[in-house]
Structure 1
Amino acid sequence: MTNALADLLAANDVILADGATGTNLFNMGLQSGDAPELWNTTAADKIRALYQGSVDAGSDLFLTNTFGGTAARLKLHDAQNRVGELNRIGAELGREVADKAGRTVVVAGSVGPTGEIMEPVGSLSHAVAVEMFHEQAQGLKEGGADILWLETISAPEEFRAAAEAFALADMPWCGTMSFDTAGRTMMGVTSSDLALLVESLPNPPLAFGANCGTGASDILRTVLGFVAQGTERPIISKGNAGIPKYVNGHIHYDGTPELMGQYAAMARDAGATIIGGCCGTMPDHLRKMREALDSTSRGDRPTLDQITAALGPFTSASDGTGDDAASADRRSRGRRRRA
């Protein structure tokens, strides 16, 4: 299997990834508590439409509808025996869409966290985690995914287990964590921790970075944290479309397409190579992101002040690295600017 993403990275200064999976599927009728992966077989046309929406908006890469495709997650829906099937079909549908795009579009097999806590804090052993990730990876490989895409991880132990599993599957991969707790992951990992972790792996990812988390400002601060470690590996930034707000019984994201366009250009200038959106990011957002990346020249690396002035304040005083005083000062100044 050729490494389609490596070839795309070699030929392009920046790559536009896709947007949200869940937000788009909820708009198509998915109900809270349902397993999106089951739609790969029961609502295949909607999954094709999900993928096609990203391609039509200009994405160079999209993730498969397999985020919760491990046995641990599918067990919640009595589908733990369908791991291979659901992941394979999720990738096959993506392959169909990508192959008729008329240009190179990478199909990235989405692999989310197991939802369980690993030893020594929890009960999930390394061996069992590797087995679950390997099973999912094999299904995605059989379905024609170009690359595996680990996302929304919080614990380094789970990141390592997935890396080992992907080596067993003989598949290239990318990996992102979610820095949603004052600049750290839920399990305390900082941007510098992740930059060091990926280089310590026997099977390092082709690219690494951050996804989801909180707002667009926060993820750019995390990207700057990766860059500060001097990494030469491509950096991923897949930020949410603004901040989630609970309105009339539903979660809405306040990021406009215009804001996400600004975010995309600033993410590129900050040092990210693969740029996309996460929760709340719709095709309209992606179109503005594509437009911004194509129509603006690369600029200087933005400062924290410039980020907050353009995209709004950080959601936490701390960026997770210990430079709390400077971060708090910029946070307050960002609030004044937005007001």
Structure 2
Amino acid sequence: MTDPLSRMLARSPHVLADGATGTALMNMGLGQEPAELWNLTRPAEVARHYRAAVDAGSDLFLTNSFAANASRMRLPGLADQVTDLNRQAAAIAREVADAAGRPVIVAGSMGPIGEFMAPMGSLTHARAVEMFHQQAEALREGGADILWVETLASLEELRAAAEAARRVGMAWCGSLSFDTAGRTMMGVTPSQLAAAVETLPNPPVAYGANCGIGASDLLRTVAGFVASGNERPIIAKGNAGVPHLLHGDIHYDGTPELMADYACLARDMGVQVIGGCCGTMPAHLCAMREALETRPRGPRPTLDQITAQLGAFASARH
């Protein structure tokens, strides 16, 4: 157990991850510019966002580098700043984590490249590895503890990210977004992901699902991971409801109380890394932390119990 997440999981039955980076920065005034540009232009606000997650009880938080790859930074004219954007995202995070007064893990965030992988598209495995490797190297240089690959839709892209992590010698975590009737946009099922991570030369420390549609649907995906028999630690980072625009700010309708219920249901299903995605703010994280620490563990919930507490599934599974 050479990586900090494995060591933390050995000491604790669950780890609380963070919430939404994009939602938080938009509520701080982020406009049309890429969120990652703030690492260079408004580092104090990025640090404030990181500290809010730590102060809310997160044991792990993601760097502001989700879209900072050469492909997605090309359109806004920032492709030549990819290394600086990622390195600075991690450096700001490292300073915040080191000042926390307790162990806090800096997870270097890498999202989808934004192109279709071959043969459906023109993105080759080699080029995908190259772009992920550029990000990973800069995140490592900035002080990230692990790499965190999330919101992917294809196993091919996940394999490219895994190869990049192997090249920089870093432990990593990976999650897909299951937002299309229980599958990813590219048709991957939870059981297929659970099987695929075990075929990698460097399997992730933990794997799972993030974003998607809502908390109920995400836990239905988790049920698929559990049923697969894979005993690798599971990640669950569900959205805090549905977005609405209120007084110029983006708000999600998932209450802190709902996310507290979601966190405990995830824990009772066997999830070890629990966090939130879009719309999950510090108030949600505080409620999740308190619930995880004060509510007794219960039996594994059924799908009916999940929908009774969190609401109906958004779509039928195919």
TM range (shorter): over 0.9
Partner of 1:269: 268
String of CA shifts for 1:302-333, please: whole Å, max 9, x gaps: 00000000000000121x4xxxxxxxxxxxxx
String of CA shifts for 1:130-179, please: whole Å, max 9, x gaps: 00000000000000100000000001110111111110111100000000
Q: Does 1:103 align with 2:130?
A: no
One-letter amino acid of the structure 2 residue matched with residue 266 of structure 1: L
Q: Distance in 1 between matches of 2:104 and 2:4?
A: 8
Partner of 2:154: 155
Partner of 1:260: 259
Output aligned runs, 1:242-253, within 5 Å. Answer: 242-245=241-244, 251-253=250-252
**Contact 2:61–2:107 (CA<8 Å) still a contact in 1?**
yes
SS at match of 1:141: helix
Q: Does 1:125 align with 2:124?
A: yes
String of CA shifts for 1:205-251, please: whole Å, max 9, x gaps: 00000000011000001111000001110000000001234667765
Q: Distance in 1 between matches of 2:215 and 2:128?
A: 31
Partner of 2:313: 314
Q: Does 1:94 align with 2:84?
A: no
Partner of 1:178: 177
Q: Distance in 1 between matches of 2:135 and 2:204?
A: 17
Partner of 2:231: 232
Deviation of 1:261 (Å): 0.4
One-letter amino acid of the structure 2 residue matched with residue 203 of structure 1: N
SS at match of 2:18: coil
Q: Does 1:216 align with 2:215?
A: yes
Q: Does 1:292 align with 2:264?
A: no
Deviation of 1:34 (Å): 1.5
**Contact 1:68–1:114 (CA<8 Å) still a contact in 2?**
yes
Distance 1:47 1:251, change over 3 A: closer
After TM superposition, the structure 1 stretch with the greater mean CA deviation from structure 2, 242-251 or 18-27, is 242-251
Deviation of 1:83 (Å): 1.3
Partner of 1:137: 136
Q: Distance in 2 between matches of 1:200 and 1:245?
A: 40
**Contact 1:257–1:288 (CA<8 Å) still a contact in 2?**
yes
Partner of 1:37: 36
String of CA shifts for 1:26-53, please: whole Å, max 9, x gaps: 000001x311111001000000001000
Partner of 2:7: 7
Deviation of 1:72 (Å): 0.5
Partner of 1:82: 81
Deviation of 1:82 (Å): 1.1
SS at match of 2:74: helix
**Contact 1:87–1:140 (CA<8 Å) still a contact in 2?**
yes
Partner of 1:18: 18
**Contact 1:40–1:89 (CA<8 Å) still a contact in 2?**
yes
SS at match of 2:30: coil
- Normalising by the residue count of structure 2, what TM-score does the alignment of the two structures yield? 0.98
Q: Distance in 2 between matches of 1:250 and 1:182?
A: 29
Q: Distance in 1 between matches of 2:196 and 2:244?
A: 33
**Contact 2:26–2:250 (CA<8 Å) still a contact in 1?**
no
Q: Distance in 1 between matches of 2:25 and 2:248?
A: 17
Deviation of 1:252 (Å): 3.2
Q: Distance in 2 between matches of 1:245 and 1:48?
A: 26
**Contact 1:224–1:271 (CA<8 Å) still a contact in 2?**
no
**Contact 1:151–1:176 (CA<8 Å) still a contact in 2?**
yes
One-letter amino acid of the structure 1 residue matched with residue 75 of structure 2: L
Distance 1:292 1:244, change over 3 A: same
RMSD, aligned α-carbons:
1.3
Partner of 2:199: 200
- Normalising by the residue count of structure 1, what TM-score does the alignment of the two structures yield? 0.92
Partner of 1:332: none
SS at match of 1:71: coil
One-letter amino acid of the structure 1 residue matched with residue 105 of structure 2: V
Q: Distance in 1 between matches of 2:244 and 2:84?
A: 36
SS at match of 1:110: strand
SS at match of 2:226: helix
Distance 1:102 1:248, change over 3 A: closer
Distance 1:248 1:98, change over 3 A: closer
**Identity over aligned pairs, percent:** 63
Q: Distance in 2 between matches of 1:36 and 1:245?
A: 20
**Contact 1:241–1:254 (CA<8 Å) still a contact in 2?**
yes
Q: Which runs of 5+ in 2 are unaligned?
A: none
**Contact 1:67–1:112 (CA<8 Å) still a contact in 2?**
yes
One-letter amino acid of the structure 1 residue matched with residue 304 of structure 2: D
